[in-house]
Structure 1
Amino acid sequence: MACRISELVIDAADPGRLAAFWSEVLGYVELGREDDGSIEIGPPDAGFGGPQPTLVLSPSNAPRTGRLRLHIDVSATDRDQDAELERLLALGARPADIGQTGAESWHVLADPEGNEFCLLHTRLRPFRQDAS
Structure 2
Amino acid sequence: MRFTGQCRCGHVVIEIEAQQLPPLYACHCLNCQRWSGSAFGLHMLCEASGVQVTGETATYRHEYHGQSSTQHACGVCHTRLFNETTAAPGMLVVRGGVLEGAERFAPIAHIWTRRKQPWLVLPEGVAQWEESPTPEEFSKALG
State the TM-score, normalized to the length of structure 1.
0.32
More strand by share: 2
- With normalisation by structure 2, the TM-score equals 0.30
